[in-house]
Amino acid sequence: MRFTEEHEWLRVEGDVVVVGITEHAAEQLGDVVFVELPEIEAMVAKGDEVCVIESVKAASDILAPVDGEIVEVNEALVDTPALVNEDPQGDAWFFKMKLDDLGVLDDFMSEDEYKEFLG
């Protein structure tokens, strides 16, 4: 897994990258009550808003960590947004992206680097 400074995680599965938020981000959000997912086949650029998460505390955006195409979304989050709190780095992934170059993931933090980033 690789991690962003925006508290997202990225996991390579074959030729796609799975994207979700870290346990730290889920804890900061509090109880998640709503998730809006991106459209499948949407082309996104790094930094684009692709998801909206609403919790009892606040609303937050998930930004595209890299350029690519959304190829799958986790529909389970629409019906059960609390999954984000229960298993943020597992079953509560948000979307899968197809990238032109998986090498861009080398720019992100390893798990140890992310832990150090959190302090």
Task: Identify whether the C-beta of residue 72 lies closer than 8 Å to the C-beta of residue 94.
Answer: no
- CATH number, residue 83: 2.40.50.100
Torsion of CA 71, 89, 108, 66, to 10 degrees: 20
Here the tokens at position 85 are 């709190």
- pLDDT band at 58, cuts 50/70/90? confident
Residue 61 confidence (pLDDT): 93
* Structure confidence at residue 108 (pLDDT): 96
41 contacts: CB under 8 Å, gap ≥ 6: 69, 70, 71
pLDDT of residue 98: 97
Q: The whole model's pTM is what?
A: 0.94
- Residue 86, phi then psi, degrees to nearest 5: -80, -40
Range of the domain at 18: 2-102
- % pLDDT > 90, the chain: 92
* Structural domains in the chain (count): 1
Residue 15 lies in a domain: yes
The string of DSSP letters for 69-106 reads EEEEE-THHHH-TTHHHH-TTTTT--EEEE-S-GGGGG
pLDDT value at residue 2: 97
Q: Is residue 113 part of a domain?
A: no
Summarised one tens digit per residue, pLDDT across range 33-54 is 999 999 999 999 999 999 999 9
Residue 58 is assigned to a structural domain of this protein: yes
Q: What is the pLDDT of residues 60-118, one digit of tens each?
A: 999 999 999 999 999 999 999 999 999 999 999 999 999 988 899 999 999 999 999 99
* 108 in any annotated domain: no
68 assigned to some structural domain: yes
Contacts of 31 (CB under 8 A, 6+ apart): 55, 56, 57, 82, 85
